[in-house]
Each structure stands twice: as C-alpha cells, then as structure tokens.
Amino acid sequence: MLKFKKIIAEEISKVTNIKSEELETYIEIPKETNNGDYSFPCFRLAKELKKAPQIIATDLKEKIKIVEPITKIEVIGGYLNFFINKEILAKETLEEIENGFGKSEIGKGKNIVIDYSAPNIAKPFHIGHLRSTVIGGALYNIYKQLGYNVTGINHLGDYGTQFGKLIEGYKLWGNEYDIKKDPIEELTKIYIRINEACKNDEQILENCRNNFKKLEDGDSYCLKIWKEFKDLSLKEFQKVYDLLGSKFDSWNGEAFYSDKMPEVIQILEKTGKLVESQGAKIINLEDKGINTPCIIEKSNGSTTYATRDLAAILYRARTYDFDKALYVTSYEQTLHFKQVFEVAKLLGIDEKYTNGLEHISFGMVLLPTGKMSTREGNVVKLNDLLNEAISRAKQIIEQKNPNLENKDEIAKKVGIGAVIFNDLANGRVKDEIFDWDTILNFQGETGPYIQYTYVRTQSVISKAGGVPSFENVKLNKLLDEYSIKIIKLIYNFEDILKQVTDNNEPSILSRYLIDLAKAYSNFYNENKIINDDKETQDARVYLTHAVGEVLRLGANLLGIEMPDKM
Ligand code: ARG
C-alpha cells in the first residue's frame, strides 16, 4: 500500500533538507474534509527556519512539486494542506482488502511482555480484574497484529501472607466448609473468620505468619493445601476466561518467583542500599522523590509483593529479552510500580529493560450502587455479571427478532461484547460507569452498535447475491463524499493501531470503530446500494464488504466476536 504520509514528507524534505522521518511525525489528518487529506503544521519548523509559520507555508507551497498521488496543495494559516487523488486512494485501500487486510510488520523483531488479569487465589475475580483482563487482552492482540512478538502473562496472586492465614483457618475448621462446591465463597468465609480470630489471639496470628514462612521454605503440608486452593481457584477463574475468550502464554504467578528472590536480595545487598529498619529490610527512595520506602523483606524473613515483582523483572528480562514490559492494573498500584521500577535500576540489568517498564493504569469501575474498589470490591461476582449481560442481551434480541436461530450463541456474543466494549470505550485512566441500559443500547456508542452495523453489512451483501469480484469494481463509482469518508477511515487502520500501541490506549481503536460504523450508516442512508446501475451497485457492495471486514477485524482485536445475525 502506498504510504501517503511518507510521500508527502519526502516531498517536503526535498525542499527543506529536514529528514523526512521527522517531518512525517508532524503530519496530521484534518478533521474537516475541506482542509485536505493531510495537513502539515508549519509552526513545527518555525524555530528551525526562523520564520513565521504562515511565511513558511507560502514559501513551501511554491517550492514543493505536485507529484502523483498529490493533486493539490493549499495554504490555510500556518498549515499546508495536501489533497490526494481519490481514485488512487480508493484503489490502494480496497486492494488491501482483497489481499488480506491489516497485516503489518511495524513491530517485527521487538518483544513485548504484557502482565494482565492477575486475580488472587482464594479471592473473588472482581470487576477491576475484568478491566485488566480486557485492556491487557486488547493490547495483546493489537501488538500482535502489528507484528510484535508478544508474551501474555497472568501474574496470579498466589503467594503472600494471606496464604499463611488461609492454611491456618483450613487446619482449624476445614471440615466445616464445603470447599469443593464453591471454593472461592467458602475460602473467603474461612479467611474472614481467621482474620477475626487473629485479632483476639496473638498465638493464632503467630501461627499464620509461620505458615507462610513454612510455605516459602517448602513445608510439605502447607504446600499441599496451598496447591489445592490454587487448583480450585483456577477452575473458577477459568469460567470467566472461557466467557471472555482470554488466553495467556504464561501462568507464572507470584509463587513461581519463590526460589528466585534470594538472588534479588543478594544483588540489592551488594549495592549497599538495602538497609535494616525495625527488623525489616528496606530500600529508601526519598532521593528519587518517593517518600515511602520499598520493603524487600519483612521482619520475620518472609518476602513481599514488591520483591516478587523484582524477581519477575529479572526473570522476564532474561527469558523474554523484552523491549517493553507492560503492567495493566488499576491506578491504586501506582506507588507500588513507581517503587519497583526505581529499585529495578539497582538490579544491574541493561537500561534497555528498566526503560521498557511501564505501568498501564486504569480508573475505577463505578456501579450504580457506588464505588467498586478494585482492591476490596468483592460485592459483584464477575461470573454473575457476565451471565447477567448474556441474559439481558437475550431479552433484547428476543424482542427485536423473535424468529432468530441460535439466540443463545448470539446473546453470548452481544452480552459479552457489550461488557468488553464498555471497558474499552473511554480513555483507560477515566473512571468507568457501568450501567446496563447504556452498554446494551443498540443505537448508542456501544459494542452492540458495532455488531449491529456489521450484521447490516452482511445482510446487504446477501441481498446483493454476494461480494462482487474486485477486478470488476469501478473505483470511480466510489468518489462521493460518503464513500470517500469510509475509504479514508479504512486507509488509516494501521495508523490507528500504531496510535494504540504508542499510547497503550485501546480506546483509540474503539473510537475508530464507532466512527467507521457511523460513516457506514451515513453511506447506507445517503446512497442507494441495491441499484439499477450494476456498476454502481457492485462498487457499493464491495465497499460494504470492506467495512464488514474492518469492523470484524477491529472488534476481534478488542476481544469482541461478531454475530452474523442479530
Ligand atoms: N494480583 C494483583 C492484584 O490483584 C495484580 C498483579 C499485577 N501484576 C504484577 N506483576 N504486580 O492486585
């Protein structure tokens, strides 16, 4: 596919002697179609050329040669606006649809590690973990689509002092609970009860602490119970992953780093920065602008969440040689990752690795009942929530299209798609409002709206008797504003994915899919697709096919499946 931005940048480069790679990053896509297809803001060069942007623009317009595919250059204020030959644009774009759309090699040779989902064993999989699972999963797919080598890691919370408590509770009252039947519910009850007991009995608390230490030291009884808790919990989590279609390349949770922490402590000890404080070993980070020290080892010798993350960084650098390592959690863990990333600089690994560490934080999910904390929020169970989404979707489908076949399968795609899209609809740092009527509105800016538009493209194609062959499509039938709007959006697809990875922000793709769906609705309303003029019909049906392909690929990248009917 011809890269229009690149061609424009090269032409500007010829007359300015500034590198075209740099110029290319300045080129924008104007919102108003009157302002051309690409726009170059000349203020970017004002400093270098020591002239006012307007003068630079007029000057450059005179010098730049109008070569194909450029048809016209206009100056508006300090901007140079470029117009591209519409037929070439249409040909380049639709040829891509014919040859397998959306393949890219931007990320070739680069390794990305994404740490996401990571629920905690013996605790509910809550709505904050859902958001991590959905955002992380979308990033995973999008990096992969761009040709990166991606590793998705589920850093399970399967270690820590809480397991000392659970083991003690189980030892004391295990036979009173039917743990196999509803593991997480029952283990939570035990956890609450043992916490109460610890408050009143110093000895019990001591036993709990010792249990975790024993677990870390490999005590067989503790290990056996811990393993059982883990297996039971994973079975529960898998139900949610099956509904969402989530997959991971690695399930190495916190416990995996159990035997890898002594090395971390050794390295840190050698730096002289690891100091004793009230029996614990800590690293002060005040000189780095972080007021809370990072605790590496507790006073009883057991390790911490932070130590395990440090061991994980060392392991991931060695194992995956990552260019970027992303951590998808709520913003509540901002301090934790600041500390860990700072201490990681003491591990003696290449700067490439410490520079590649990035916390991808997201906001809270607000239910109509109020704040749902990602830490304590075990109010709504995720499995229930997802199943509710499916049954609500089924009710709507039942009303709209009572004769539909495979209603259950479609309801699953629509219900789950609605929940996923809602998680990705707005910038991730924003708190998210979870409201059933909004997320399931077929006419709103929602997952179901995108699915609905896709279904419409498929029904247009079947009404027309199939997709016409590309060779017969007359591209000059697609030069009206509604068609061109769609073609331009499709042309920009790779650029959109690149923006997603530059910002680790899947909502850029969600927004794009809404724009594309809306552009198709306008096209559909303004242009008669099934037409007496066969050439016009073929061209419009082909464009409809292209929209369907892009909507489906884009939605799939977000983790949403498309129904054929709804
Ligand atoms: N299990 C943690 C939690 O539920 C999230 C883990 C995130 N990943 C990490 N490497 N710390 O809060």
What are the tens digits of pLDDT across the range 464-491? 999 999 999 999 999 999 999 999 999 9
**Superfamily for domain range 382-558:** Isoleucyl-tRNA Synthetase; Domain 1 (1.10.730.10)
**Residue 377: which pLDDT band, with cuts at 50, 70 and 90?**
very low
pLDDT for the residue numbered 459: 97
Whole-model pTM?
0.94
Q: Is 120 in the pocket of ligand 1 (CB under 6 A)?
A: yes
Q: Please name the residue whose Cα sits nearest to atom 1 of ligand 1.
A: 157
Same CATH fold assignment for domains 4-84 and 382-558: no
Q: What is the DSSP letter of 510?
A: H
State the Cα–Cα distance between residues 70 and 83, nearest whole angstrom: 6
What are the CA-CA distances from residue 65 to residues 24, 26, 69, 429, 542 (Å)? 17, 19, 11, 44, 34
**Residue 119: which pLDDT band, with cuts at 50, 70 and 90?**
very high
**Superfamily for domain range 115-366:** HUPs (3.40.50.620)
User: Considering only the top CATH level, what class is 4-84?
Assistant: alpha beta
Q: Best substitution site from 155, 158, 161, 373 to test ligand 1's pocket, by max atoms within 8 Å of Cβ? A: 155
List of E strands, 402-464: 432-433
Tell me the sheet residues that pair with 365. Answer: 372, 432
Mean pLDDT of 293-319: 95
Over the chain, what is the mean pLDDT?
94
**pLDDT tens string 65-83:** 999 999 999 999 999 999 9
CA 361 / ligand 1 centre spacing (Å): 12
Q: Is 118 in the pocket of ligand 1 (CB under 6 A)?
A: yes
Q: Is 341 in the pocket of ligand 1 (CB under 6 A)?
A: no
**Residue 247: which pLDDT band, with cuts at 50, 70 and 90?**
very high
Task: Sheet with 324-330: list strands edge to edge.
Answer: 149-153, 111-115, 324-330, 357-362
Catalytic residues: 123, 126, 129
pLDDT of 518 > 90? The answer is yes
pLDDT for the residue numbered 379: 53
Q: Is 327 in the pocket of ligand 1 (CB under 6 A)?
A: yes
Q: Best substitution site from 309, 320, 329, 331 to test ligand 1's pocket, by max atoms within 8 Å of Cβ? A: 329
Sign for the pseudo-dihedral over CA of 277, 278, 281, 286: negative
pLDDT for the residue numbered 276: 96
CA 523 / ligand 1 centre spacing (Å): 45
Residue ranges per structural domain of the chain: 4-84, 115-366, 382-558
State the Cα–Cα distance between residues 100 and 120, nearest whole angstrom: 40
312 Cα nearest atom in ligand 1: 10
Strands 370-372 and 79-84, bridge-based pairing: unpaired
Q: Is 11 in the pocket of ligand 1 (CB under 6 A)?
A: no
Share of the chain above pLDDT 90, in %: 88
Please say whether the beta carbons of 228 and 167 come within 8 A. Answer: no
CA 494 / ligand 1 centre spacing (Å): 31
State the Cα–Cα distance between residues 334 and 359, nearest whole angstrom: 7
Q: Is 115 in the pocket of ligand 1 (CB under 6 A)?
A: yes
What amino acid occupies position 82?
F
**Residue 542: which pLDDT band, with cuts at 50, 70 and 90?**
very high
Mean pLDDT of 112-134: 94
State the Cα–Cα distance between residues 191 and 285, nearest whole angstrom: 34
Q: Please name the residue whose Cα sits nearest to atom 9 of ligand 1.
A: 155
pLDDT for the residue numbered 376: 45
Please say whether the beta carbons of 121 and 230 come within 8 A. Answer: yes
CA 141 / ligand 1 centre spacing (Å): 21
List of E strands, 248-381: 274-277, 280-283, 294-297, 324-330, 357-362, 365-367, 370-372
Q: Which residue has the tokens 């395990």?
A: 308
CA 155 / ligand 1 centre spacing (Å): 6
Contacts of 175 (CB under 8 A, 6+ apart): none
Tell me the sheet residues that pair with 532. Answer: none
Q: Please name the residue whose Cα sits nearest to atom 6 of ligand 1.
A: 118
Closest listed residue to residue 424, CA positions, set 557, 552, 549: 557
CA 253 / ligand 1 centre spacing (Å): 9
Q: Is 309 in the pocket of ligand 1 (CB under 6 A)?
A: yes
Q: Please name the residue whose Cα sits nearest to atom 11 of ligand 1.
A: 309
What amino acid occupies position 147?
G
State the Cα–Cα distance between residues 219 and 260, nearest whole angstrom: 17
Mean pLDDT of 494-513: 97
Phi and psi torsions of 89, nearest 5°:
-55, -45
pLDDT for the residue numbered 218: 92
CA 300 / ligand 1 centre spacing (Å): 23
Q: Is 137 in the pocket of ligand 1 (CB under 6 A)?
A: no
CA 115 / ligand 1 centre spacing (Å): 8
Q: Is 252 in the pocket of ligand 1 (CB under 6 A)?
A: no
What do you get for the CA distance between the two ends of the chain, in Å?
34
pLDDT for the residue numbered 368: 63
Q: Please name the residue whose Cα sits nearest to atom 8 of ligand 1.
A: 155
332 Cα nearest atom in ligand 1: 12
Q: Is 155 in the pocket of ligand 1 (CB under 6 A)?
A: yes
State the Cα–Cα distance between residues 298 and 265, nearest whole angstrom: 12
pLDDT for the residue numbered 291: 96
**Residue 155: which pLDDT band, with cuts at 50, 70 and 90?**
very high
